[in-house]
Amino acid sequence: MDSPVHRVSLGDTWSRRVHPDMASERFIQSFSVEQLTNILDGGAQNTALRRKVESIIHSDPEFSVKDNYFMTQNERYVAAVQKRFHLQIIAKRLGWSENSPEFYYAYRYSLPGQPQRYQGPCLWWATPAPCPFPHRALSGELALGLHTVFLKSLQSLGSEEQIAKWTPLCNEFRIIASYAQTELGHGTNLRGLETEATYDAATQEFVVHSPTLTATKWWPGDMGRSATHTLVQAQLICSGARQGMHAFIVPIRSLRDHTPLPGVTVGDIGPKMDFDNIDHGFLRLDHVRIPRENMLSRFAQVLPDGTYVKLGTQQTNYFSMVVVRVELLLGEIIPLLQKACVIAIRYSVIRRQSSIRPSDPEAKILDYQTQQQKLLPQLATAYAFHFLASNLLKFLHSSYDAIRNKDFSHLPELHALSAGIKAMTSDLCFQGSELCRRACGGHGYSKLSGLPSLVTRVTASCTYEGDNTVLYLQTARFLVKNYLQTQAIPGSTQKSLPPSVAYLTAPYLARCPAQKAADFLHPKLYTTAWAHVAARLIKYSAHHLETLIRSGVDWAEAWNQTTVIHLQTAKAHCYYISVKSFTETLEKLEDKPAVRQVLKRLCDLYALHGILTNAADFLHDGFLSGAQVDAVRTGYLELLGLVRKDAILLTDAFDFTDPSLNSALGCYDGNVYERLFHWAQKSPTNTQENPAYAKYLRPLLQSWKSKL
Amino acid sequence: MLRVATMNQDLRREREAASFNPELLTHVLDGSPENTRRRREIENLILNDPDFQHEDLNFLTRSQRYEVAVRKSANMVKKMREFGIADPEEIMWFKRIHMVNFVEPVGLNFSMFIPTLLNQGTTAQQEKWLLSSQGLQIIGTYAQTEMGHGTHLRGLETTATYDPETQEFILNSPTVTSIKWWPGGLGKTSNHAIVLAQLITKGKCYGLHAFIVPIREIGTHKPLPGITVGDIGPKFGYDEMDNGYLKMDNYRIPRENMLMKYAQVKPDGTYVKPVSNKLTYGTMVFVRSFLVGEAARSLSKACTIAIRYSAVRHQSEIKPGEPEPQILDFQTQQYKLFPLLATAYAFQFVGAYVKETYHRINEGIGQGDLSELPELHALVAGLKAFTSWTTNAAIEACRMACGGHGYSHCSGLPNIYVTFTPTCTFEGENTVMMLQTARFLMKSYDQVHSGKLVGGMGSYLNDLPTQRIQPRQVAVWPSVVDIDSPDSLTEAYKLRAARLVEIAAKNLQNEVIQRESKEVAWNLTSVDLVRASEAHCHYVAVKLFSEKLLKIQDKSVHAVLRNLCLLYCLYGISQKAGDFLQGSIMTESQITQVNQRIKELLTAIRPDAVALVDAFDFQDVTLGSVLGRYDGNVYENLFEWAKKSPLNKSEVHESYYKYLKPLQSKL
């Protein structure tokens, strides 16, 4: 129906004309951009639906985020609250239910497959991530996301009565809820949390208390100023015994006038790198009493007399962590790198600087090899991660029913994959988007480029939902364990291993057979190469650990002394998985040769870039010779030139609208400079009085005037 | 120095257990005990001065931060006179404490406007503008970059066309891309700017020249007619700075406003060529060598914060059932931080070296000796890029090593990061800088091959023709490399640099033959060329660190620095192991030993880590970090800090009544 220009553009004065340097990039289309967009969305019908939702959001001025860069923390928070309620009203009017695909696209990124099928009891943001909601159309500028986290936690941890009591209160916003887990002194190590909930059988109440300064809840979203209730994770103490972490609903602010309730000290934790839209809070509880019924009791209960009763395992709680990490990938982390690529690559065909030959006009900076080397591997990574995350999501869906039926056999593998892949994608998406920012020179430092905000958001994802180092080590533990199992059971076959580590028993290949650069452009060849390196490192990790243990060091200490190696191992494994997942995606595109060809180049680029970055791992045991690494480099440099030709089309295929990019440098039409000038003039520093002039500058300057 | 009595127990233990006296190391970093003494004296002057108020910038809006910075600038001239501070080094020490972020809206008046006036203005021009700009009675800035052009100066589009009838220049910004963009202090503060524009007289363009342009009316501070000037809007950092834009429409200035010490335009419009034109060369080298030092300082600050916090923070367990260890005891945490600490020390010594060399060579220039300038220029370009890239990633790594609290502005790390990161871009974009160094290396390589020897840091290239470094040959070098000797490791880095320079040179030659255009060949080899420059700079850093060890007298300081130096060398090898393997500089088993040795060094450095960051001797004000406080009382102060946030001023935030409540009722 619409031409892409109409659909994605900002609709300002400059959108009417596409910059000739941008138009020339789209002149020859070696593949169908629309077809690629459909693949990314998981089907043409999803693309259509997503666009419909985006157009509703973008045509409503209440959802505009264009002034964001000029706002104070306070203003952004207020605007985000406003948008959240406005969305609620719109959704009600249009009949979008919480689990409808429309709602999903308004908030979230595309979910390949059928978005409506998946309705798991996912515990959104089980640990307090700085960001509540993914946000394709709304660029994440919403508040009160933790309200939904509360609801989801209630549904998975609460009894039927509790669910029946609290759900309507939340849905009608008669209470505003949050989720409080991390403390000032503890994040990653949940068992170290200090907040206590002591049962008092005399009054049938829990006394919730922060016994030390470090027990202060710190970082929970929406708690600083908004929430009336929060779900507090605390150590349960009943009948004198500590029973570990449990969740308690604690009212914190008066429903009448919003003042903190007696015994409650609550506030905002102050300025952060980003996420000004969310009021992350602190909370100290001084012997606050709550009724016994406020402990969520699906899995454990405290009887009126103080008897503690366990009602089953919390495996589903553990599963919810996996779900969150997987959904984060496409919901938050990967789109941030994709957007950074779109902005930096579009700007790089508009920006002209110096000339390649002295007689030539100034060249587009994307024509410089050094610029290609910065940006194009990031573009390849953005695609690789998209397919990696989609495939992981499919695996999650396929295991989902089994897990619901209490078959947890897939859980260890799912957990290991989701941990490592979250760590790898957030690491590399952060590095990549920062690289994109710096590749835009001075203008990349301006907030109007949109890039600083992408960087400050994505960098947070390296820490929340599990610190990356800790996550990598969880994956390593899984790898080492599986390897040791293959050793313990001689003759174990690929079948006895989880699919993601089946390569551990693959036939050993001592040398890579490639002879020239072109040989490296074969998915099977480089996937095998990555498998070889990952398997070698896993073995190395395991042997190192065993050697230490044999020398008398206990397991825990031996593990700590070998963690640096395990990190390297987990990284290689995850990279292998991502290469493999990309090649598997290619295999399914036999019927779309043009798209397949352009994606294959990206896949080649991704794999070879990885080999060159980690060349030592391939050279180490002579799997690759020095000459072969040189051949990889030759192939890699040639790929840069080839991908360069399709670079703009490849960024267009992500199908981000201009309003969601919110970048003066990255608009579809390429009219960078006009927009940058216009946007800067709207800055409050230009529309408001200069505060320093009257107070400080005038006195200085006038001492001169008097001498004239 | 007097430090507070109540010190965090963990930090106290760390300091007591250190194997050396950090004070002695501070003297090494400052250059002498006397420098340390004087620096602290100046710092204390400011810290004890009641006029010196230090607001926490984190709680201020951009407009307020700008206002604070202008106030401090206005005070500074007076204060420095009062304290008798005139020496350039002492001014730096003063500004670092006084301005905290080292970002000041009138900074370009002193760093660019006045020096340019002095270098390029005639005596009459200096008489007219110098005194008043020194006293901040006129505030000048320097407007060079445009929206469409930064690094490539010749591409600037602003024009200054001479009109002999009125004896005026007519300044124009002919396109949107020609609008001056980014100059500091231009947006709101300055009333004059030195504008770089293409000079056109008698119908001919003579290239870039500098013009003094009044931009705001004296008395009202309003933009003059024909001038459009303003702030370029919010940035990643530098909130205190009003980076500005400037658009000129047929704006006329008198002929005398062109800086005419060298080139001149006569009243009739005749252009007189300058005699020599190597003027800005020296300034550029000076600024870039200063930035190398800034990289060292920024990284040192980040390491101080992350390491102190890691000694205070306890988390998880190494062995089940034991109390939670300091996170600095986790191998992964050590592996994140100690190589960065070693890098900070390496860069401190690199910074000191380029500063000394600049001053030495600068004296030579005063006597007309320009011979060493090209090498220094080439070296400093590369080192600026090398140190700033590394530091950029390292600061962020330190921030992430502080977990969630690192993301809060209370950690001070986001501020250090956003203030430092533009160093990668300004004063010469890093990739362009690396390619400048590469150009020098290629020239040296050709020189060696035409039989002439080269001197300085690139002298290793002299050995190339005899070395015959061939990647596929059987290992020749392994027996040479002793992984416990900094000198031997320096040799290994030298071989790597030589090899990568040679590869780049050969690839360049091949491309030249195939493409029949040197420039196209250059572009198609630029990835290799950047690699070669990086290897060269890495070698220089390793070499300077090892050489520094020879000058350390105190045994215990020497021992701890030697470990850091080894860690710096070995970590680099482990990160770039592919180069060392591929070049047959080291064997696989040596790389395995390197990785093993790194872990031993982590353990060896661990007890001295806190003392090593104490030796940087940063004031808490300079760090601006709750996590990195000297006394280690992190959590108490974190809570106090958060309570100061303006969002906590009232118990119930106004937005509740304004938005939350009414919106709730709408549903």
Chain B partners of A369 at a C-beta cutoff of 8 Å?
Answer: 523-527
Residue A353: Cβ within 10 Å count: 20
Instruction: Render pLDDT for B21-50 as a digit per residue (tens, 0 to 9).
Output: 999 999 999 999 999 999 999 999 888 888
| pLDDT given at position B467 | 62
d(CA B219, CA A192): 63
Contact B599 A561 (CB under 8 A): yes
Judging by DSSP bridges, how do beta strands A363-364 and A352-353 pair with one another? Answer: antiparallel
Q: Which of residues 307-326 of B touch A (CB under 8 A)?
A: 313-320, 324
Q: Taking the CB of residue B42, how many other CB atoms lie within 10 A of it?
A: 21
End-to-end CA distance of chain B, in Å?
A: 62
Residue B345 has pLDDT above 70, yes or no: yes
Residues A620, B188: C-beta atoms closer than 8 Å: no
Least confident window among A79-83, A548-552, B457-461, B538-542: A79-83
Which of B499, B502, B496 shows the shortest CA–CA distance to B576?
B496
Tell me, what's the pLDDT at A495?
A: 64
Q: Residue A702: which pLDDT band, with cuts at 50, 70 and 90?
A: confident
Report pLDDT for A494: 58
Q: Which residues of A touch B582 (CB under 8 A)?
A: 615, 619, 626, 629-630
Asked whether the beta carbons of residue B647 and residue A213 sit closer than 8 angstroms, the reply is no
Best mutation target among A370, A457, A705 (most B Cβ atoms within 10 Å) is A370
Do strands B168-172 and B251-254 pair parallel, antiparallel, or not at all (unpaired)? antiparallel
The answer to whether the complex's ipTM is over 0.85 is yes
Widest distance between CA atoms in chain A: 97
Task: Give the strand pairing for A196-200 and A229-238.
Answer: parallel
- Beta-carbon count within 10 A of B255 CB: 18
Bridge partners, B159 (sequence order): B172, B198
Q: Got the DSSP string for B528-558?
A: HHHHHHHHHHHHHHHHHHHHHHHT---HHHH
- A375 pLDDT higher than 70: yes
Q: Which residue has the tokens 């920024």?
A: B298
Q: Which listed residue (B427, B491, B502, B534) is catalytic?
A: B427
Of A654, A657, A669, A664, the residue nearest A68 (C-alpha): A664
Nearest CA in chain A to B136: A700
Measured between beta carbons, the chain B residues lying within 8 angstroms of A273 are: 407-409, 414
Tell me which residue in A78, A267, A441 faces B648 most closely, judged by beta carbons: A267
**Nearest-angstrom CA–CA distance, B111 and B402:** 35
pLDDT tens-digit series, residues A632-660: 999 999 999 999 999 999 999 999 999 99
pLDDT in tens, B439-450: 999 999 999 999
How many cross-chain Cβ pairs, A to B, lie less than 8 Å apart?
370
Q: Do residues B268 and B164 make contact, with C-beta atoms less than 8 angstroms apart? A: yes
Element (H, E) at A230: strand A229-238
Let me know: does B618 contact B304? Beta carbons within 8 Å: yes
pLDDT exceeds cutoff 60 at A461: yes
Q: What share of chain B is helix, strand, coil (3-state, %, to 5)?
A: 60, 10, 30
Q: Count of residues for chain A?
A: 708
State the pLDDT at residue B479. 55
Residue of A nearest to B603 (CA): A561
Mean pLDDT of B98-122: 87
Q: Could you tell me if B335 lies within 8 Å of chain A, comparing CB atoms? A: yes
* B397 interface with A at CB cutoff 8 Å: no
- The answer to whether residues B500 and B525 touch, using CB atoms and an 8 Å cutoff, is no
Task: Give Cα separations from A445 to A318, A516, A526 (angstroms).
Answer: 40, 41, 37
Report A:463-492 residues touching B (Cβ under 8 A): 463-464, 467-469, 473
Give yes or no for a contact between A62 and A82, defined as CB atoms under 8 angstroms apart: yes
Residues 6+ apart with CB under 8 A from A575: A424, A530, A534, A610, A614
User: Looking at the complex, does the CB of residue A547 fall below 8 Å from at least one CB of chain B?
Assistant: no
Token couple for A259: 């003042």
> How far does B265 lie from chain A, in Å, by closest CA?
28
Which chain B residue lies closest to A467 (C-alpha atoms)? B403
Contact B648, A267 (CB under 8 A): yes
pLDDT digits (tens, 9 = 90+) for A116-173: 323 333 323 323 333 333 346 676 677 777 777 888 888 888 999 999 999 999 888 8
pLDDT tier, B654 (very low <50, low <70, confident <90, very high otherwise): confident
Alpha carbon distance, N-terminus to C-terminus of chain A: 69
Name every chain B residue with its beta carbon within 8 A of the beta carbon of A563: 330-332, 335
B251 phi, psi to nearest 5 deg: -90, 125
> Closest Cα to residue A441, out of B122, B150, B344?
B150
For chain A, the C-alpha Rg in angstroms (whole number) is 27
Nearest to A258 among B472, B577, B652 (CB): B652
Please indicate whether residue A530 or residue A51 has the higher confidence score (pLDDT): A530
A95 Cβ partners below 8 Å, 6+ apart? none
Asked whether the beta carbons of A389 and A329 are under 8 A apart, the reply is yes
> A642: burial class by Cβ within 10 Å (0-12, 13-18, 19+)?
middle
Lowest mean pLDDT among A291-300, A321-330, A535-544, A647-656: A321-330
pLDDT > 90: what percent of chain B?
71
Please report how many Cα atoms fall inside a 13 Å half-sphere around the Cα of residue B518, on the Cβ side.
Answer: 5
Given CB atoms, is B587 within the 8 Å cutoff of chain A? no
Q: Inter-chain contact B218–A704, Cβ cutoff 8 Å?
A: yes
Which amino acid belongs to residue A541?
A: S
- Tell me: the pLDDT tens digits for A13-30? 888 899 999 999 999 999
What would the DSSP string read from start to end of B11-61? HHHHHHT-SS-HHHHHHHHHSSHHHHHHHHHHHHHHHT-TT-----GGGS-
User: So what's the pLDDT on residue B82?
Assistant: 85
B427 is catalytic: yes
Q: Please, which pLDDT band fits residue A478 given cuts at 50, 70 and 90?
A: very high
pLDDT band at A98 (very low <50, low <70, confident <90, very high): low
Q: How far is A250 from A260, CA to CA, in rounded Å?
A: 12
Chain B residues with CB-CB distance to A282 below 8 A: 639, 642
- Cβ–Cβ below 8 Å for B150 and A442: yes
Residues A168-194 have a mean pLDDT of 88
Residue from the list B187, B221, B421 with its beta carbon closest to the beta carbon of A697: B221
Closest CA to A4 of A34, A39, A46: A34
On the question of pLDDT at A60 being above 70, the answer is yes
Secondary structure class of B229 (helix, strand, coil): strand
Closest CA to A376 of A604, A529, A664: A604
pLDDT at B230 over 70: yes
Mutation test of the interface with chain A: which of B129, B132, B310, B400, choosing the one with the most A Cβ atoms within 10 A?
Answer: B400
Q: In this predicted structure, which of A125-134, A430-439, B7-16, B489-498 has the lowest mean pLDDT?
A: A125-134
Confidence of residue A521 (pLDDT cuts 50, 70, 90): very high
User: Stretch A603-612: mean pLDDT, rounded?
Assistant: 98
Q: Is the pLDDT reported for residue A546 higher than 60?
A: yes
Averaged pLDDT of chain A: 89
DSSP string, A279-317: --EEEEESSEEEEGGGB--SSEEE-TTS-EEE-S--HHH
Contacts of B635 in chain A (CB under 8 A): 184-185, 213-214
Q: Which of A85, A213, A701 sits opposite B191 (nearest CB)?
A: A701
Distance from CA of B365 to the nearest CA of A (A): 30
| C-beta of residue B482 within 8 angstroms of C-beta of residue B488 | yes
User: What is the pairing mode between strands B192-201 and B159-163?
Assistant: parallel
- Quick one: how many helices (H) and strands (E) in chain B? 25, 11
B9 — contact with chain A (CB < 8 Å)?
no
A545 is written with which tokens? Answer: 């650990």
A403 has a pLDDT exceeding 80:
no
Radius of gyration of chain B (CA): 27
**Does A225 lie at the interface with B, CB-CB under 8 angstroms?**
yes
A30 burial level (CB within 10 Å; 0-12, 13-18, 19+) = exposed
This prediction has a pTM of 0.93
Q: What does the alpha-carbon distance between residue B303 and residue A45 come to, in Å, rounded to a whole number?
A: 51
Alpha carbon distance A133, A124 (integer Å) = 9
Give the residue from A421, A362, A449 showing the smallest Cα distance to A574: A421
Most distant CA pair in chain B: distance in Å?
A: 91
Beta bridge partners of B212: B194
Say if CB B264 and CB B271 are below 8 A apart: yes
- Give per-residue pLDDT as tens, B267-325: 999 999 887 655 556 778 888 999 999 999 999 999 999 999 999 999 887 778 888 99
Q: Cα separation of B27 and B36, whole Å? A: 6
C-alpha–C-alpha distance, residues A613 and A596, integer Å:
25
Nearest to A335 by CA among A707, A95, A657, A693: A657
Q: Are B244 and B186 in contact (CB under 8 A)?
A: yes
CB < 8 Å from A in window 544-573 of B: none
For chain B positions 156-195, those within 8 Å of chain A (CB to CB) are 176-177, 179, 181-182, 187-189, 191
B234 Cβ under 8 Å from any chain A Cβ: yes
Determine contact: A45 vs chain B, CB below 8 A.
no
Q: What mean pLDDT value characterizes chain B? A: 91
Burial class (CB in 10 A: 0-12, 13-18, 19+), B38: middle
**B480 vs B468, higher pLDDT:** B480
The pLDDT tens digits of the residues spanning B55-68 come to 788 899 999 999 99
For residues B477-493, one letter each, b for 16 or more C-beta atoms within 10 angstroms of the residue's C-beta and e for the rest, the string is beeebebeebeebbbbb
- pLDDT for B206 equals 95
**Burial (CB count within 10 angstroms: exposed 0-12, middle 13-18, buried 19+), residue B359:** exposed
**Residue B34 vs residues A82, B37, B345, B353: alpha-carbon distances, Å:** 60, 5, 21, 19
**Which phi and psi (to 5°) does residue A374 adopt?**
-75, -50
Query: Which residue in chain A has the smallest CA separation from B178?
Result: A673
Check if A202 contacts B (Cβ < 8 Å).
no
